[in-house]
Amino acid sequence: MLKKIVLNDLKGSKLVSITIFSFILFASFVLSTVGIVAVNLNASINLFLEKSKAPHFLQMHMGDFDNERMDKFAQNNEYVLDYQALPFLNVDSSDIIINGERFSENSQDNGFSYQSENFDFLLDIDNSIIYPKEGEIYVPLVYFTNGNIKTGDCITVSGLNFIVKGAVRDSQMSSMLSSSKRFLVHQSDYEKIKHVGREEILIEFLLNNRSSIDLFQSSYFKADLESNGPTVTYSIIKLMNALTDGIMIAILSLIAFLVIVVSFLCIRLTLVSKIEDEYKTIGVVKAIGLRLSIIKRIYRGKYAIISVISCLLGLIFSLAFSGYFLQNIRMFFGENESTFPAVICALAGAVFIFLIVMLYVNRFLNKLKNISPARAINKGVVSDNVSSLKSFKLREQNILPTDIFLGINLILTRKKTYFTFILILIIASFVIILPNNIYSSMASDIFITYMGIGNGQVMMIFPGMNDLIDLNTVLENDPDIEEYVVYDNKSYEFMLNVNTVSKMWVTLGNQNKFPLLYTVGHAPQQNNDIALSYLNASSLGKKVGDSLTLIIEQQKKNFVITGIYSDITNGGKTARAAFSDDSKDSLSKSVIMNFKKDTPIKEKINSFEKNYPNAKIYHIESYRDAVFGSTLNSIKTAGITGMILSIGLTFLITLLFNNMLVVKDRRNISILKSLGFTYKSIRNQYTAGTLLIVFVSIIIGMILVNTIGQSVAGFFIQSMGIANFKFIPDLGFVLFITPFCILITVFLGINIAYRSIKIIKVSDYIKGEV
């Protein structure tokens, strides 16, 4: 009997059943896929880091290096398990020739290395340690995947030809978030090309215990060892490797959450209308003594069947198609050896969706408890919670045409009915706008200032002091330069607490030209002002107004913290000050400049490269694209996917909701028809109300994106060292394209749904009462 009722119910409401089925299937598919991707990402990265023996602490250094002293430090340090100093040859991209063409378009810091002996191994795509023969070269994996270089290509460096044998998986530098990339050659070839570039030392430590990285870092800096380059720790290596896929997981989770919310809303909508339709019947079956649990079982049956089948199909689809989402993980980290945990996680995702759907249905059906049999049998219909508004009366308004007034009035007096529809439209506009806002923000010119770099056109970094004698004169006299600023990057000791001294990278210079974005406070202006990067301020527990003591010429000098800015350079822990100090050598100097209008920037960069062969010169826009290119692409893909999904969802829900609304409103529509209102007029009333809802929903969606959305996006981006992230929206997209897409979709949906108004016969809904 129960089976027959449920099957009849399913047959009788095909559109609704298919819609709910599709949503639950999709939610189950996405959540199971999230489980598979997350387990694989974690397992593959761990396996990869284990096989490559990634260092726990890495200090880059350029210049003099005291190997003996470092050896001694490593031997005596209680935390160190193993230590190595690995040379890394920075070669200008234009000195790398691939199949006869210069690699100069590439703005990464490309360099050469040979295989390490003890740890930090460079692996091939089977995760085996590579030992290249003479004349062979292995190239960074990212150049393989984006099609720049392929096996068999010829790479020439300083007249020495290499044949590309394969790709390198590099635990430290594979990620596009790492600005350096390692090419792997034989040690003897490395010696032959050594004169082409500048050698940097990768000072690497494996520790006894990963939890002691902070303590070790402190002891390293305290020992005043070589440290003029960036510092990288194991957690940053892992984060950088996981970030691109991690963002995908986060976006998929968000989609799963939204789809499940929409499924709930659909279920709510259908259950409400079902209960309304069968209000009298429910009253009768209650009156004859049928227990609530049995009545609930009848209504629950349909959703149980839909949920079981859709969750199972979602699980099967996720197992079948998760390979697509795992491509990047397999390519960059290798295959996860055990698939069982991923399958269990996928199953858990599907079961979770099934359980929460059933829990929701069950909780919703508790409302049946409140139906009084006497009232239901007597009245026959659920009292519509509609009542006229005190302050919105037809006779008191002079602007709106009657149809539009009635449409708006219908919504204002039935907010609860429209709540579901509004919520879905808000979600749709949120999902469309949010990824686009993240994308437009990260792609905007201003975003570079979040990265710790001024918003100029070109940046030059001089690792040594040799070229700098006439730099100011040259820049000053260059007719093409509009403005520039030279920064001194120096390392200073500072008081970590009363007894402990640590070291900090401080950039000195005019901080008002090409200013960074200060999340709190402002740029340092006085000689005793200092600004800290967000990560630095967080780890030191400092805020604006606090003081910081630097040791300059053996003297303690107090500085006032005037601002906190976002920075992802040099491990994100930096400081900026305005004072000048000739007593201490610079670790490096950097220049940011803007050119006059119509200056050919590429040619200027080429000319600088010729004049300053040791300098690293970046076109800032290309630099940003190189660092965030893959992340931006992921966000763009997510944005387009979100937009297609949202539009499809909006269309489906519009159709479903408005169909139900017309069914629910048959009597009111009949009344209007009997009073002489035409089909067109009634349709206009509903259309006006719906369009009002669309506008309100889009506005609320926009507000939510800029408040909650910005906070959520900021939370993820904060982990990269970018604090207080603010959207820089693409106004054309937000204000025109999004509303236009949603409006057109809703309009199409209501046009189909409202056709049924035409076929409502007055006699069917008024005469029936006689």
Partner 1 sequence: MNKIIEARSINKVYGSENNQTIALNNVSISITTNEYVSVMGPSGSGKSTLLFALSGMDRIDTGSVYINGVSLHEMNENNLADFRRKKMGFVFQNPTMLPSLDILDNIMLPSYEDYKKDKSELIQKTLKIMKIAGIEGTENRKITEVSGGQLQRASICRAVLHNPEILFGDEPTGALNSKSSEEILDLFEQLNNNGMTILLVTHDSKVSARSKRVLFMKDGTLESELIFQNENLQTRIDLINEKMSVLGI
Tell me if 386 contacts partner 1 by CB under 8 A: yes
Nearer to partner 1, 148 or 681 (CB): 681
Q: Which of 196, 96, 216, 690 is nearest to 408 (CA)?
A: 690
Give the shortest CB-385-to-partner 1 separation in angstroms. Answer: 9
Q: Which stretch binds partner 1 (CB under 8 A): 121-129, 211-219, 387-395, 649-657?
A: 387-395
Among positions 82, 199, 384, 581, the unique one binding partner 1 when judged by CB under 8 A: 384
Nearer to partner 1, 42 or 417 (CB): 417
Nearer to partner 1, 257 or 679 (CB): 679
SS3 assignment, position 493? strand
CB 491 within 8 A of CB 501: no
Nearer to partner 1, 285 or 412 (CB): 412
Nearer to partner 1, 408 or 448 (CB): 408
Tell me if 770 contacts partner 1 by CB under 8 A: yes
Give the shortest CB-667-to-partner 1 separation in angstroms. Answer: 8
Q: Which of 713, 740, 741 is nearest to 726 (CA)?
A: 713
Contact track, partner 1, 138-177, x by CB under 8 A: ----------------------------------------
Look-up: residue for tokens 């770099």?
Answer: 453
Q: Which stretch binds partner 1 (CB under 8 A): 185-193, 243-251, 327-335, 394-402?
A: 394-402
Give the shortest CB-754-to-partner 1 separation in angstroms. Answer: 14
Tell me if 415 contacts partner 1 by CB under 8 A: no
Task: Tell me the C-alpha distance between 754 and 508, whole Å.
Answer: 68
Tell me if 366 contacts partner 1 by CB under 8 A: no
Q: Which stretch binds partner 1 (CB under 8 A): 403-411, 420-428, 628-636, 741-749?
A: 403-411
CB 673 within 8 A of CB 662: no
Tell me if 400 contacts partner 1 by CB under 8 A: no
Tell me if 378 contacts partner 1 by CB under 8 A: no
Among positions 394, 703, 708, 752, the unique one binding partner 1 when judged by CB under 8 A: 394
Nearer to partner 1, 380 or 648 (CB): 380
Give the shortest CB-661-to-partner 1 separation in angstroms. Answer: 13
Nearer to partner 1, 460 or 760 (CB): 760
**Amino acid, single-letter form, for residue 109:** D
Contact track, partner 1, 647-686, x by CB under 8 A: --------------------xx-xxxxxxxxxxxx-----
Tell me if 594 contacts partner 1 by CB under 8 A: no
Among positions 198, 414, 624, 664, the unique one binding partner 1 when judged by CB under 8 A: 414
Nearer to partner 1, 602 or 767 (CB): 767
Tell me if 391 contacts partner 1 by CB under 8 A: no
Give the shortest CB-386-to-partner 1 separation in angstroms. Answer: 4
Contact track, partner 1, 747-766, x by CB under 8 A: -----------x--xxx--x
Task: Tell me the C-alpha distance between 95 and 155, whole Å.
Answer: 10
Nearer to partner 1, 580 or 763 (CB): 763
Secondary structure (H, E, C), 324-349: HHHHHHHHHHCCCCCCHHHHHHHHHH
Nearer to partner 1, 23 or 421 (CB): 421
Strand order in the sheet with 101-102: 101-102, 96-98, 154-157, 160-168, 136-140, 180-185, 109-113, 80-90, 198-207, 57-62, 231-233
Read off the DSSP letter of residue 570.
Answer: G
Give the shortest CB-13-to-partner 1 separation in angstroms. Answer: 22
CB 89 within 8 A of CB 113: yes
CB 206 within 8 A of CB 135: no
Q: Which stretch binds partner 1 (CB under 8 A): 108-116, 293-301, 367-375, 390-398?
A: 390-398
Among positions 158, 328, 413, 538, the unique one binding partner 1 when judged by CB under 8 A: 413
CA distances from 334 to 41, 328, 436 (A): 10, 9, 31
Nearer to partner 1, 578 or 662 (CB): 662
**Amino acid, single-letter form, for residue 316:** I
Contact track, partner 1, 326-365, x by CB under 8 A: ----------------------------------------
Q: Which stretch binds partner 1 (CB under 8 A): 310-318, 392-400, 421-429, 442-450?
A: 392-400
Task: Tell me the C-alpha distance between 244 and 240, whole Å.
Answer: 8
Task: Tell me the C-alpha distance between 221 and 227, whole Å.
Answer: 8
Tell me if 769 contacts partner 1 by CB under 8 A: yes
Read off the DSSP letter of residue 768.
Answer: G
Tell me if 469 contacts partner 1 by CB under 8 A: no
Strand partners, 588: 489
Nearer to partner 1, 389 or 469 (CB): 389
Secondary structure (H, E, C), 500-535: CEEEEEEEECCCCCCCCCEEEECCCCCCCEEEEEHH
CB 490 within 8 A of CB 546: no
Q: Which of 611, 551, 614 is nearest to 581 (CA)?
A: 551
Give the number of residues in contact with partner 1, rule: CB under 8 A: 38
Nearer to partner 1, 151 or 385 (CB): 385
Tokens of 318: 């996720």
Nearer to partner 1, 401 or 600 (CB): 401
Give the shortest CB-275-to-partner 1 separation in angstroms. Answer: 19
Nearer to partner 1, 265 or 410 (CB): 410
**Cβ-count burial 549-579 (b if 16+ within 10 Å, e if not):** ebebeeeeeebebbbbbbbbbbbbbbbbbbb
CA distances from 633 to 46, 555, 659 (A): 25, 49, 39
Give the shortest CB-764-to-partner 1 separation in angstroms. Answer: 9
Tell me if 393 contacts partner 1 by CB under 8 A: yes
Cα–Cα–Cα angle for 666, 671, 677, rounded to 5 degrees: 105
Query: Considering just the CA atoms, what is the radius of gyration of the chain in Å?
Result: 33
Task: Say how many C-beta atoms besides its own lie within 10 A of residue 657's C-beta.
Answer: 24
CB 599 within 8 A of CB 456: no
Among positions 34, 232, 275, 410, the unique one binding partner 1 when judged by CB under 8 A: 410
Q: Nearest 10 degrees: CA dihedral of 406, 411, 413, 417?
A: 140
Among positions 209, 366, 388, 633, the unique one binding partner 1 when judged by CB under 8 A: 388
Give the shortest CB-277-to-partner 1 separation in angstroms. Answer: 19
DSSP annotation string for 420-479: HHHHHHHHHHHHHHHHHHHHHHHHSGGGGGGGT--S-SEEEEESSSGGGTTHHHHHHH-T
Give the shortest CB-531-to-partner 1 separation in angstroms. Answer: 59
Among positions 8, 99, 378, 402, the unique one binding partner 1 when judged by CB under 8 A: 402
Tokens of 300: 């629950």
Read off the DSSP letter of residue 761.
Answer: -
Give the shortest CB-675-to-partner 1 separation in angstroms. Answer: 4
Nearer to partner 1, 93 or 668 (CB): 668
The residues that touch partner 1, with contacts defined as CB under 8 A, are 384, 386-389, 393-395, 398, 402, 406, 409-410, 412-414, 667-668, 670-681, 758, 761-763, 766-767, 769-770
